[in-house]
Amino acid sequence: MKDNLKRIFKGGLGQLTIPLIAIALLVIFNLIRDPSFFSIELTLNNNGNTVLSGNLISIINGASELAVLAMGMTLVTAACGGQDISVGAAAAIAGSAFVKILKSGPSINIGTVIMAFLFACVVAMLFGSFNGTLVSVFKIQPMIATLILYTCGRSIAYWINGGATPTVSSPIITAIGGFIPGVPIPTPVLIVIGVALVFVLVFHFTSLGLFTQSVGINGSAARLNGINSTFIKLLSFIILGLCVAVAGTIGVSRLGLINHETLLLDIEMDAILAVAIGGNNLGGGKFKISGSIIGAYVIQMLTITLYAMKVPSTDVKAYKAIVIIILVVIGSPVIKSKFQKFMNKIKSNRQRVSVKGAE
Amino acid sequence: MQDNTLLQMRHINKVFPGVKALNDVDFTLRKGEIHALMGENGAGKSTLIKILTGVYGMDGGEITVEGMNVTIHSPQDAQNKGISTVYQEITLCPNLTVAENMYIGREESAVVLHKKYEKRANEILKKLGIPARASQQLGSCSLAVQQMVAIARAVDMECKVLILDEPTSSLDDKEVNMLFKLMRDLKDQGVGIIFVTHFLEQVYEVCDRITVLRNGELVGEYLIEDLPQVELVAKMIGKELDELSDFGEIEEKQFDEKDIFYEAESLSSSEAMPFDFCIHKGEVNGFTGLLGSGRSESVRAIFGADKVNGGTVKIKGENVKITKPIDAMKHGIGYLAEDRKRDGIIAELSVRENIILALQVMKGFFKPISRSEAEAFADEYIKVLNIKTASRETPVGSLSGGNQQKVILARWLLTHPDYLILDEPTRGIDVGTKLEIQKLVLKLAEDGVSVTFISSEVEEMLRTCSRLIVMRDRHVVGELKGSDLNQTQVMKTIAGGETQNEG
């Protein structure tokens, strides 16, 4: 742990610098605009629970699905050098599958919810392996391969529940999408923490990180070192499938219904963006999941800030785009190397000054 | 300043994080001369050239071209100022045609006139005798031809200064001669050529002058007549000459039938014709032959690197199936690939991660090597193999070629293989590291490891191998050992009966 801290101080934050600065700037900007913007209070909600509320909570809560998807997307990006644009549609399928099981029994109890979630996971992993097989075995570019599911995914979701948009009402579902009685923190936030922990454990107890990066950077060399790159790529899509199931479940539980047309609509682009803002190379190779998570919160904070500034919702996307252009350009290799040169200059100047001072 | 001075670099300094790459280096190139730039890996040759071509900026010093002070901002800028380069590793685009590769980035107009360029490219290719068509995809040409296309591109740019960075490392003798003829033609036209190579004989064949660098510092500039080959080597490595001949004779080892470690019968792959092969415990043997003779393809078949089509394989007398690299690794076989950049290094990963990679794969997905263990392994091999790196966390891609090679060697040594296949481990590597690797091979054999060693330099193989398998046109045409292991006999076998005069 101490070593880790030392490394961070020595090498700087590396690829996390930009997303962290972005968050800091957004926080400062909001504080200047409205000093009480981030105030958190305990309130009683409709169900009679004492819960945390405030802008900060809604930012962190609202970014949950995005954060989960961004984690899986990072892995696919690193291994395959491309992105999965079907995650929104796949989440609609997973959500529909989730609801299908919930609706099949006479009542919703903890058992059926677990069954439904597991079923959603299996379904999402199957669709993930479909994408993964196209990419890893048939060597189709990820964006093209996943375009298929992107196009037809919401139709499949429509068929699952026979075209209806059934509602599911149960205290358990409300607890998943909102608050567990007695816990003031929104459940989706807890789920994100749980998923992040699972990733940490997986990276600690397997060689997924090393193998994924090797495959992404130099597939040929990875193969000659005995790594099954087809399997690693497929695995990344299956893991993303799990993330999709989790995101779909959160999304359905939040609303208490499945709307296959609107559930997590357009989230794939935000997920890809989160990966990019997190300083990960979209061409594959080295990656940091933590960067993508921060990236997800940057996007959400930006959206909420714009809404808080009373920007009409039709204009929000345009303003978002402007900020994102700035972030991406600052993070580009050209600017980075210029900045590095500048820092070196300052450093050498300082050395010169101190040498003079010593004389 | 003399009239015929073409290029002058004075007091050049360059610092990389943790390393002083160049320290007050001078270099002068005259019109119509071929000037060899010599030095070990990490001596600063590549850095000096990258400064001259605008890839790196310099931290101090000045450059003059034909007496005029210049600043070179980018490779494009260097080209405009008449400085062209052909790099060690091919930097062209394999998915474009030959003509497109020759004119990419330098079209006069925005519209690419394919027909016009193809015609011009064909003329140049014909003039230089390069066996390629302008409309052909570059990737479909052999490595050697690709290299020559890169040279043709530079030649066509009517450069004043032509830099050839290890242009011959992937060419066979005939192609080298063709290149030398071209270099002499250009020299007669007044072009100044900077020639970077590790082949000492080639320097003495074509060059007029030699500049030697060592550890980022200038050792000196010499006329070729004034510097015998042995002294050149001494200047490059800064060691006493005795060490060079410290090898002694390889003692004649006798191997028993029962000591056979690996045995293959009519093994074939998608790339290699069926062949028989065996290696004993603690034996060093080699595959030799011209480029394209099938020597690399054969060892790749042993490792399962290409699709294996047939044949039986026995390890320690037992039948085994090796169809992919992981099978071979599990049976104790390691393979250092010929193309370091494409098949060896994972450039952006650290030295540490590159070193533990193969061991990690063998241990399995669910048994990761802990950070502290990995650090200990990395530190150990950085020390044992004397890898020059700022730290174990440095990305391996930023090391010099020789040190990258050592990292890959470390990767395989860490798996403690019983049988190590080294395909061109010394290509593009300086004399000092070459000797280190040769010594290492012999030491491994002493410890009971079987080694197959492939090198384009026959002399190097004669020094290390006790048995040579000679290939021609994708077939094994001979096996030499004992008193047959000499340059003449090898050449004769490689060349075959009808072309004996080449030996």
Question: Ranked by mean pLDDT, which of A9-18, A123-132, B18-27 comes out on top?
Answer: A123-132
Could you give the 3-state DSSP secondary structure of residue B418?
coil
List helix spans (H) across B189-245. 200-206, 229-237
User: What pLDDT digit, counting tens, does each position of A264-318 carry?
Assistant: 999 999 999 999 999 898 889 999 999 999 999 999 999 999 988 899 988 888 9
| CB pair distance less than 8 Å for A206 and B362 | no
Of B293 and A71, the structure prediction assigns the larger pLDDT to A71
Residue A138 backbone dihedrals phi, psi, to 5 degrees: -95, 0
Cβ-Cβ contacts under 8 Å, A225 against chain B: 325, 329, 357-358, 361, 411
Determine whether domain B281-299+324-502 maps to CATH 3.40.50.300.
yes
Min Cα separation A347/chain B (Å): 13
Indicate the residue type of B185: D
- The CA distance from B238 to B228, in Å, is 15
The token pair at B202 is 């080639």
Q: What's the sign of the alpha-carbon dihedral A24, A29, A35, A38?
A: negative
Q: Which of A207, A214, A223 sits opposite B325 (nearest CB)?
A: A223
Would you list the domain boundaries of chain A? 2-346
- The CA distance from B205 to B217, in Å, is 26
B342 touches chain A (CB under 8 A): yes
Could you give the 3-state DSSP secondary structure of residue B223?
strand
Min Cα separation B473/chain A (Å): 25
Cβ-Cβ contacts under 8 Å, A206 against chain B: 365-366, 368
Q: Which of A206, A218, A285 sits opposite B365 (nearest CB)?
A: A206
Domains B5-245 and B281-299+324-502 are alike in CATH topology: yes
User: What is the band of A14 on the pLDDT scale with cuts at 50, 70, 90?
Assistant: confident
Instruction: Give the pLDDT score at A62.
Output: 95
User: What pLDDT digit, counting tens, does each position of B172-206 carry?
Assistant: 777 788 788 878 888 888 889 999 887 777 888 99
As a whole number of Å, the CA-based R_g of chain B is 24
Min Cα separation B346/chain A (Å): 6
- The CA distance from B30 to A58, in Å, is 71
| CB pair distance less than 8 Å for B348 and A220 | no
Q: Please, what is the angle between helix A229-255 and helix A110-136, to 10°?
A: 140
User: What is the band of A249 on the pLDDT scale with cuts at 50, 70, 90?
Assistant: very high
Of B208 and A347, the structure prediction assigns the larger pLDDT to B208
Instruction: Give the pLDDT score at B8.
Output: 92
| CB pair distance less than 8 Å for A227 and B361 | yes
User: What is the band of A69 on the pLDDT scale with cuts at 50, 70, 90?
Assistant: very high
User: Is the pLDDT assigned to residue A85 strictly greater than 90?
Assistant: yes
Q: Which CATH class is domain B5-245?
A: alpha beta
B420 touches chain A (CB under 8 A): no
The low-confidence residues of chain B, meaning pLDDT below 70, are 1-3, 17-18, 41, 88-90, 106-113, 143, 170, 237-253, 291-292, 496-503
Q: Which of A213, A224, A227 sits opposite B349 (nearest CB)?
A: A213
- The CA distance from A247 to A300, in Å, is 15
Quick one: DSSP state of residue B283?
-
User: What pLDDT digit, counting tens, does each position of B133-176 carry?
Assistant: 888 888 887 767 787 788 788 878 778 898 998 887 767 777 78
Q: Which of A205, A210, A218 sits opposite B360 (nearest CB)?
A: A210
- The CA distance from B313 to A94, in Å, is 49
Name which of A3, A224, A230, A286 to mutate to probe chain B: the one with the most chain B Cβ atoms within 10 A of its Cβ.
A224
Instruction: Give the pLDDT score at B498.
Output: 43
Compute the C-alpha angle A253/A257/A261, nearest 5°: 110
In B, residues 94-113, which contact A (CB 8 Å cutoff)?
none
Instruction: Give the pLDDT score at B503.
Output: 33
- The CA distance from B306 to A230, in Å, is 16
Q: Which of A208, A226, A228 sits opposite B358 (nearest CB)?
A: A226
Name which of A133, A158, A160 is nearest A145 in CA terms: A133
Name which of B300, B361, B394 to mutate to probe chain A: the one with the most chain A Cβ atoms within 10 A of its Cβ.
B361
Instruction: Give the pLDDT score at B499.
Output: 40
Which residues, including other chains, have CB under 8 Å from residue B65's CB and lie 6 or more apart? Answer: B6, B7, B81, B82, B83, B160, B161
- The CA distance from B259 to B283, in Å, is 10
| Cβ neighbours, 10 Å, residue B266 | 12
- The CA distance from B369 to B356, in Å, is 8
| CB pair distance less than 8 Å for A206 and B366 | yes
| Cβ neighbours, 10 Å, residue A68 | 31
Cβ-Cβ contacts under 8 Å, B368 against chain A: 204-207, 210
- The CA distance from B97 to B122, in Å, is 12
User: What pLDDT digit, counting tens, does each position of A160-207 carry?
Assistant: 988 888 899 899 999 999 999 989 999 999 999 999 999 999 999 999
| CB pair distance less than 8 Å for A214 and B329 | no
| Cβ neighbours, 10 Å, residue B232 | 21
List helix spans (H) across B241-345. 295-303, 325-330
Cβ-Cβ contacts under 8 Å, A205 against chain B: 366, 368
Could you give the 3-state DSSP secondary structure of residue B404?
helix
A to B CB pairs, distance under 8 Å: 73
Q: How would CATH label the architecture of A2-346?
A: Orthogonal Bundle (1.10)
| Confidence (pTM) | 0.77
When pLDDT is averaged across residues A4-23 and rounded to a whole number, the result is 67
Instruction: Give the pLDDT score at B306.
Output: 92
Q: Classify A39 in phi/psi space as left (phi over 0), alpha (psi -120 to 50) or beta.
A: beta
Min Cα separation B485/chain A (Å): 32
Cβ-Cβ contacts under 8 Å, A210 against chain B: 349, 353, 356-357, 360, 368
Name which of B335, B346, B353, B355 to mutate to probe chain A: the one with the most chain A Cβ atoms within 10 A of its Cβ.
B346
User: If you search the block for the tokens 């061409």, which residue do you land on?
Assistant: A283
When pLDDT is averaged across residues A322-351 and rounded to a whole number, the result is 79
Q: Which residue of A has its CA nearest to B359?
A: A225
Q: Which residue of B has its CA nearest to A223?
A: B325
Task: Name the average pLDDT for chain A.
Answer: 90
Instruction: Enter the ipTM.
Output: 0.86
Q: Which residue of B has its CA nearest to A4?
A: B371
In B, residues 305-324, which contact A (CB 8 Å cutoff)?
305, 324
Q: Please, what is the angle between helix A17-33 and helix A267-277, to 10°?
A: 110
| CB pair distance less than 8 Å for B353 and A210 | yes
Cβ-Cβ contacts under 8 Å, A204 against chain B: 368
Can you name the residues that pair with B196 across neighbouring β-strands? B37, B165
Q: Which of B324, B326, B348 sits opposite A286 (nearest CB)?
A: B348
| CB pair distance less than 8 Å for A213 and B366 | no
Would you list the domain boundaries of chain B? 5-245, 281-299+324-502
Min Cα separation A290/chain B (Å): 18
| CB pair distance less than 8 Å for A207 and B346 | no
- The CA distance from A287 to A78, in Å, is 6
- The CA distance from A126 to A120, in Å, is 10
